[in-house]
Structure 1
Amino acid sequence: MTARIVVAGQAEGPVVHATEGLSFWGGVDPATGIVIDAHHPLTGRCLTGTILMMPTSRGSCTGSGVLLELALNGRGPAALVFRGAEDILTLGALIAGRMFGRALPVLRLDAAEFDALSRTAHATIRDTHLQADGLHLPLSPPPMSAMQLTAQDHAMLQGPPAQKLAMEVICTMAAQQGATALIDVTQAHIDGCIYASPANLLFAEAMAEMGARVCVPTTMNAISVDRQNWQAQGVPPQFGGPASRLADAYVQMGARPSFTCAPYQLPTVPAQGEAVAWAESNAVIYANSVLGARTVKHPDFLDLMIALTGRAPLSGVYLSEERVARRILKVDVPPGADDAVWPLIGYVAGLRAPDRIPLLTGITVSPDADALKALCAAFGTTSAAPMLHIEGVTPEADQVDPNADIATITREDLAAAWRQFNAAPSHIDLVALGSPHFSLNECQALAALVAGRKTQVATIITCGHDTIAAAKANGTLAVLEASGAQVVPDLCWCSISEPVFPPHARTLMTNSGKYAHYAPGLSGRAVRFGSLADCVAAAVSGRAPDHLPAWLR
């Protein structure tokens, strides 16, 4: 047997085997290396110095920045071992070694090798072999690039320092993905502008100082502070300053300060079949699934590299054959279901298809854009797949492997997910809405529910600037603010921190499956979940429902 080196390096340490993928953003504390994802089997485990084995990663594209920070502060795993394709943590390890001299080896094993290593307690990785409790695996070198590059590609490889580095990293990632060519992209969306750790700032400012400049229209994800108001909000300068500088670095490199995690709400939304380079997991899944655009789930840092060159590896779901559903999920949608059903379906679909694109069937109620947003975002927390199909809804739902296997999502499965999200006490201190960012339609629906009522607990909605401007113009913003709700730009719930996040809040309620999953680890608070109407009722009364909704009983 010969295992494959993806990122070269040497390491030694105890073997830690994760039976399911882990998102490092929202799942691992970048300062300590401890797993903070409350829903993961390794929760509470410290990964520092370990040979960490996973089938693949999952979740947020920002995981590459978290891994880079762990590598730089000496709290990261000693090595990563995957059974399948993986880009997010691989890119973080590649940047750690190439830009900062912190080698963190990454290996890929086949199923038999992976299972054999998972049964060992300690492993040593050297340049040519892996040794572990009687197991000896020769290691093949990193894949050599056989890229068919254009004259312009070659020119960029000999170009200014930032562009040269970008093309080198793109070609290295392409080689490990098995790509033999690059593809032009029409636009990019940057996820690395979230201040996940000092490493994100170190990378961005280093690139800006090298003269990096985007060459395709580039939007930016939500950032970690309200850029114009963070000082007045009392955000500590030691956090607000670096977070603001991180955003400034990307603006300096030519990115548009859109600051939204829902770029599909912008006027620049791509058309079906258009090749783009988006990072941010929910945005990638929505773009591929709902819009029919094409983008791989690009890791943080690679998003910038592609924006600097306009070129991406021609691999993954850029290719038609990789967009095919290989699992059919038959969904039992309970009669009378409210809007909470969509994130529950997405969350369970990710659990049922953690490593492949599914086709969801049996959904007879047509979901609108906001329902699809909620479904896609929740799916991305539990699956590594970059897209899904919904029969009769999404544009490529006829693309199904004839050998696709079949699984089910029952009412009992949805109820189990609801209970998982509602284990906290019913007393609510905070209602958190806008993960991903609220649309104008969602703001209007919320305004209709709160009109003439007053919230009794903190109620915060995060939105993009374009949405806030439209809500102000049509009077929706005034209704929300009159109820006591606060509308916040620039931030999203996965990047919000105290004091914008109310320090006194102990239990929050949200209608987002994505945030219900990540909030315990990111905020340290208990969580309740429900429909938008349930969230409004909690905002007014300070209490969440104590029982399953009628449609789940």
Structure 2
Amino acid sequence: MTLELTARDRSMLDGGQGPSAAAAMKILVAFSNAIGARGLLDISGAHIDGCLYHGKAGLDFVERLVVGGGRVQVPTTLNVGSFDLIHPGMVKMPAAEEAPARRLMKAHLELGCQATFTCAPYQTRFRPDFGQQIAWGESNAIVFANSVIGARTNRYGDFIDLCCAMTGRAPAWGLHLSENRRGRILFELDIAQAEPNDSLFVGVGLIIGQASGDRIPVISGLPKPRDEDQLKALGAAAATTGAVALFHAVGITPEARTLDEAFQGHLPEETIRIARADIDQALARLSGVPDGASLAAVSLGTPHFSHEEWMRLLPMLREAAPGKGIPIYVNTGRATLTRLQEEGALAGMEAFGLVPVADTCTYVTAILERLDGVVMTNSGKWAHYAPGNIGVTVAFADMEDCIRSAAVGHVVRGVS
């Protein structure tokens, strides 16, 4: 199959817009040929996952684009980096590692990217609209954009996402195309009607991520979410335990008003029933920490806390009044943090152990003061990755239980 390029594509490939744009287009063409795309399409935005420093190769790649005078062609947000530029004093990083980590973040800004440094670009003013074609990296952002918003992106990895941003183009392939967005596997929830807490959505996400493979899951019987943050938690868990880039929740997400619409008139290839016991079992696998275990810290906000989540958290802190020296780290985007500071919402909250973290996340950066005790979280993604990434023992629970545990100094769950 031959990749069809427009005259503008060919001009860019031939150096008509400079050496950096030519290099980006050359990589994008090779990638598109490898996956069998027939052509390229225009995108309205991009989100870059390559700000996290993993080694010299990533920095060299971006630096080369900077030296070549490269600029992104569409509004481009940046994922978390390896450093909290807002609160640099809390990051424990050797100078030899700090310098390239900071440089990588700065180099992306020199390409014209926006200094968002958040894994939740959908919480910024750059949130896409339904049906818009975008090129996003970062697994939770991808599944949120596709599923909750109805924008269109594939799971773009490091460098390819930036090449799309540098050219304003993406391969016309995969989830960019309507026919590839239909559901393939059905998950029927069989649970008693109850108030849908956050952990329910995390548990469902864990299950569909593990069982879907490369098939798009459709969920029927999902309780109406309190807000989009519960769908954010579901998608993040599904993208963490599997390769889910799009899910349909019947009657909830925009491309699944009915079961028939979600499957585009086809029948599911497989149907899996999810009972309450399945959800409890999936959540139990996130941690084997018993109630009563001594607590070292709480970490919330993976993906980054929204303003709405902050508005739920702050009254909990005032009511529980944790003050036993248990830090409560909350990862959030700098735009959200700025809004909270302008509103005066965080005034005096450090007395309750609150430690806001911006630009990065506590499971990828050395921020936690103690790694020798149990860290409690309400995030399926954090609970999944943190033990391997930073070597901590994790206890998973809803946010209310995390705050109550911080107040008493040990793990408690389900206590009213």
Work out whether the TM-score is over 0.5.
yes
Alignment of 1:427-466 (within 5 A): 427-451=294-318, 453-456=321-324, 457-466=326-335
Unaligned runs of 5+ residues in structure 2 are none
Does structure 1 conserve the Cα–Cα contact (< 8 Å) formed by 2:83 and 2:91?
A: no
Does structure 1 conserve the Cα–Cα contact (< 8 Å) formed by 2:405 and 2:411?
A: yes
Does the residue aligned with 1:306 lie in a helix, a strand or coil? helix
Alignment of 1:360-439 (within 5 A): 360-397=219-256, 398-400=261-263, 402-404=266-268, 405-424=270-289, 426-439=293-306
Partner of 2:374: 507
Partner of 2:118: 260
Partner of 1:471: 340
Q: Which amino acid aligns with 2:223?
A: T
Going from structure 1 to structure 2, the CA distance change for 1:158 and 1:233 (only over 3 Å counts) comes to same
Does structure 2 conserve the Cα–Cα contact (< 8 Å) formed by 1:187 and 1:276?
A: yes
Identity %: 38
Does the residue aligned with 1:429 lie in a helix, a strand or coil? strand
1:152 aligns with 2:8: yes
Going from structure 1 to structure 2, the CA distance change for 1:231 and 1:338 (only over 3 Å counts) comes to closer
Going from structure 1 to structure 2, the CA distance change for 1:368 and 1:232 (only over 3 Å counts) comes to closer
Partner of 2:365: 496
Alignment of 1:8-407 (within 5 A): 146-159=2-15, 160-230=18-88, 233-334=91-192, 335-397=194-256, 398-400=261-263, 402-404=266-268, 405-407=270-272
Higher relative contact order (CA 8 A, sep 6+): 2
| Rounded Cα–Cα distance in structure 1 between residues aligned with 2:297 and 2:147 | 32
CA-to-partner distance for each residue in 1:468-502, whole Å, 9 max, x for gaps?
Answer: 112122232225333221111111234222xx222
CA-to-partner distance for each residue in 1:501-545, whole Å, 9 max, x for gaps?
Answer: 224443211100011111111111111100010110121112113
Moved more, 339-348 or 191-200: 191-200
Q: Between Structure 1 and Structure 2, which shows a larger proportion of helix residues? A: 2
| Rounded Cα–Cα distance in structure 1 between residues aligned with 2:36 and 2:91 | 48
CA-to-partner distance for each residue in 1:387-422, whole Å, 9 max, x for gaps?
Answer: 100011000012305231211122121111121112
Does the residue aligned with 1:478 lie in a helix, a strand or coil? coil
Q: Which amino acid aligns with 1:473?
A: E
| Rounded Cα–Cα distance in structure 1 between residues aligned with 2:376 and 2:235 | 20
| Rounded Cα–Cα distance in structure 2 between residues aligned with 1:231 and 1:428 | 24
Unaligned runs of 5+ residues in structure 1 are 1-144
Going from structure 1 to structure 2, the CA distance change for 1:480 and 1:344 (only over 3 Å counts) comes to farther
Deviation at 1:162, TM superposition (A): 1.6
CA-to-partner distance for each residue in 1:46-70, whole Å, 9 max, x for gaps?
Answer: xxxxxxxxxxxxxxxxxxxxxxxxx
| Rounded Cα–Cα distance in structure 2 between residues aligned with 1:465 and 1:429 | 26
Deviation at 1:337, TM superposition (A): 4.5
Q: Please report the TM-score for the alignment, with normalisation by the length of structure 1.
A: 0.70
Does the residue aligned with 1:476 lie in a helix, a strand or coil? coil
Deviation at 1:173, TM superposition (A): 1.2
Query: Alpha carbon RMSD of aligned pairs, Å?
Result: 1.8
Deviation at 1:199, TM superposition (A): 2.7
Q: Please report the TM-score for the alignment, with normalisation by the length of structure 2.
A: 0.92
| Rounded Cα–Cα distance in structure 2 between residues aligned with 1:337 and 1:162 | 49
Does structure 2 conserve the Cα–Cα contact (< 8 Å) formed by 1:149 and 1:181?
A: yes
| Rounded Cα–Cα distance in structure 1 between residues aligned with 2:274 and 2:116 | 37
| Rounded Cα–Cα distance in structure 2 between residues aligned with 1:294 and 1:504 | 39
Going from structure 1 to structure 2, the CA distance change for 1:517 and 1:540 (only over 3 Å counts) comes to same
Q: Which amino acid aligns with 1:371?
A: Q
Partner of 1:7: none
Deviation at 1:303, TM superposition (A): 0.9
